[in-house]
Each structure stands twice: as structure tokens, then as C-alpha cells.
Amino acid sequence: MSAPTRLAIILAAGLGTRMKSERPKVMHEIGGLSLVGHVLKAVSAASVERIAVVVGPDMPALVSEVGRRAPQASCHEQTERLGTAHAALAARPAATPVPDQVFVLFGDTPLVRPGTIERIGARLSAGADLVVLGFQAANPFGYGRLLEEGGELVAIREEKDASEVERQVAFCNSGIMGFSGARFLEILDAIGNDNANSEFYLTDAVEVARGLGLSVASETADEAEVQGINTRAQLARVEADFQARMRQQAMDDGVTLVAPETVFFSHDTVLAADVVVEPNVVFGPGVSVARDAVVRAFSHLEQARVGEGATLGPYARLRPGAEIGTGAHIGNFVEVKNATVGEGAKVNHLTYVGDARIGARSNIGAGTITCNYDGFLKHLTDIGEDVFVGSNSTLVAPITIGDGAYLAAGGTVTQNVPADALVIGRARQAVKEGRASLLKSRFRRAKEEKAKRDKEKG
């Protein structure tokens, strides 16, 4: 039996009004990824071939975000906000040709799991025409209740319409639904707007489907998974739940987190087994860390790769384009940007490495700076293998330093260095005996005179 064809409609036309934001609500981020990006990622992982996103008027940034995250997705504008069913029908063109299954999700519910979507799909494949995703609420007040009889979902009852008995029900509506593709438009087109707001609500789909004699069922998710976001406080709570999920997954995958609650992940962080992460580490987007590497405390990584057995930090910063080789050492207060650090190389203290290549086993001394920017363009510093760069060296790019070269401490190097060469780039030292006390006396008198002038000024 072939896999069912699937369409996901993601409702994302909401404004950021309650967030007091100029951005569309679903463009706010969790774990370095937009809310809608999380939902797009989930439906793609659930083998959904066709994706339609319903956007509001004048949301070019959202349309661009959808194009980046899911190039196959189409965007459909809801010109008037007349309810959730009305929004879903804005994606009507995407329902042709008719798919086997249609999922309706919300762009502000970022923690929904691919497996949950798959379970809804399995219920549809087993014969249900409509599946509503519910959750057991710790505090059901304010939620629509899912009322069941004999294994069938019979109604979604809103709080204001529920009886006292129905209000005791803790099984609540998440808003996420799955439809038989053959019945999707039939059900939504039959939803009316005979209500106080004259709007078309997806929650009426249950009553409509039952009126058509169709099979209506429910599926269950964890409450944290189906949290929606309307305020900054809710955004922060969902971020906390996302981080807890990522930390647990990392530890389940064999990563040691010394103080899990202090480590922060992005949506695409990849840590191999036997990586050790010390406290207060932040992984920005685009980071991968290979097996047996150690990321020491207070380090910050973004768009970077760390090789097997490498050591990073404490207090290290990897910026975009940093590639740290196998067994390399990046130490405290070292910043690496758009640079490759070769196998076994060491950059251990107080150093900036930008737009550079450092060859295998080279040692970069404390206080070294690659001067990569001339005010207009960036230039490459190319350091060969087995090079020793002494402390407090200034390397003015573009420059190439050959294999095995030795740069004495305190030098400013402006010309290419041949292999195996010794470079002394500092000024000649001058020693004037007996002059230190004279110099100190002069400075002391100047300090006293300044203090006297300041006192006279009041």
C-alpha cells in the first residue's frame, strides 16, 4: 500500500498585537528559528509533501521566511480575518489535486512533533474523516473541551457554553486537526458564521462532520507540545520548554551536560556522542561538535564546526565560518571568525583569528591578532603547518607564513615569511641605566602639580 499524499495548511496570518511587535507573530523565534519555521520543519519531517501557509496582507518578510525554510511551500493571503475556518479556506488552491490527508496547524504552535502529525495521519488512514488533537490540561479553564461518547468525538464545547459537568472535563482542544482529503472542502464549506462575531470557526467542523454522518476521532498530545504563543511571557515559557527538550535529547544521545539548565541550544545544534559541555555555554544556529570534543564554560558558538577531540574555551567565541580541526585547542578569550584551525593546532590565550588558515600543529601565542580588515576589504592570513607565533604578534593581512616558521614575540609582521624562517619584527630595545628614578621623579612632580591646580579650581 502506497503512502498517503499529504497537505499541511499552516495558519500564520496573525499580527503581533499582544506582543506589541511590528513583526508578524510567527516571525518571533524559539531556539534561533522562527515559530513558523519550527512548524514547517515538523510537517516536512512528517512526510508531508505539500505545504500551504496562510499569511496576512503586507507580510513580505514572512513570505520570504517560508521560501527559505520550505521552498516547496505556497503562500496564500487571507485578506480579511473572518475566523480560523475562513483562514484555512484561503489555501483552497493548494487542495487541488485532492490529497489523501489534510492537516491544519498553527504557525504559533512551534513545539508540535512530527510523530504527533504522523499519529493523526494514522487515524485518518484507519478510517477517520476528521481527527482533532487534544491534550489533558493541568488547568482547563478557558479552553474548548473535547467531549467524547463511545470512542467518538461528539463536540467541542467552548468554556462559555459548557455546562458545569462539561467544565470538569480536562481533555481540551489544541486547534490542530486532520481531515480526509476527500472530505476537507466539503466540511469547511459547510461551516457557517451564525455566531456573535459572524466568523467561521474550525471548531464547528466536528458538528458539521457528524451531521454529514462522518467518523470523527481525537488524538492526544502532551500539553507542552501544543502551547500557542500570543504574548512575550508565553514566548519565554515555550523557549524554556524547547531548551528542556533539547537538553534531554542531547543527554539521551550520549552528550554530557555538566549543568544542563545553563546550556542553551539552537534548533539545529548537532552534538555527537561523548561531547562534554561545561556550564553556561550558548550554541547559536548552525553549530556541530564532533565526538569527544570538550566545550568549556562560558563559550559562545555560532555557525561553526568543532572537530573530534578538540577543546574549546573557557570563554571562547566561535563566530560564523569557524572550523576547528581534530584535537585542536581554542583557549580562554580567543575569538575565531571565518577561519580554519588545523589538526592539533593551539590558540590558547587572548587572541583574535579572523579570515585565516592555521595549519596543523601550529601554535599561536597569547595576544596575537590577525589584522584582516583594511577599512574596506577583508584579507587572508595563511599560516602553514608547525608554525610558532610568539605572544603579542600582529599579523597584517594579506600575508602567508610558511611551514615551520618561527615568529619571535612582540613582532609586527607585514611581509610573507618563507618556510623555516625566523622572524624578529619588533623594534630594537634601548637600555638607559640610572634613568628610571629620574623619569619617576618627573612623573611624580607632574602629578602633584596637577593635583594642586585641581584643588585651586575648587
Single out the residue of 10, 12, 23, 42 nearest to residue 242, CA to CA.
42
Q: Which helix (H) or strand (E) holds 400?
A: strand 399-401
Instruction: Report the alpha-carbon angle 182-183-186, nearest 5.
Output: 125
Query: Rounded distance, CA 344 to CA 419, Å?
Result: 19
Instruction: Return the CA Rg of the chain.
Output: 31
Catalytic residue among 38, 300, 349, 379: 349
- Under 8 Å CB-to-CB from 446, ≥6 apart: which residues? none
* Lookup: cell for 265: 541550544
Containing H/E element for 60? Answer: helix 60-69
Is 86 known to be catalytic?
A: no
CA 1 to CA 79: how far, in whole Å?
40
Longest CA pairwise span in the chain (Å): 106
Strand 288-289 relative to strand 270-271, pairing: parallel
Compute the distance between CA of residue 364 and CA of residue 349 in angstroms, rounded to an integer.
8
For residue 286, which of 26, 32, 45 has the smallest C-alpha distance? 32
Exposure string over 8-35, b if 16+ CB within 10 A, otherwise e: bbbbbbbebeebeeeebbbbbbbbbbbb
Catalytic residues: 349
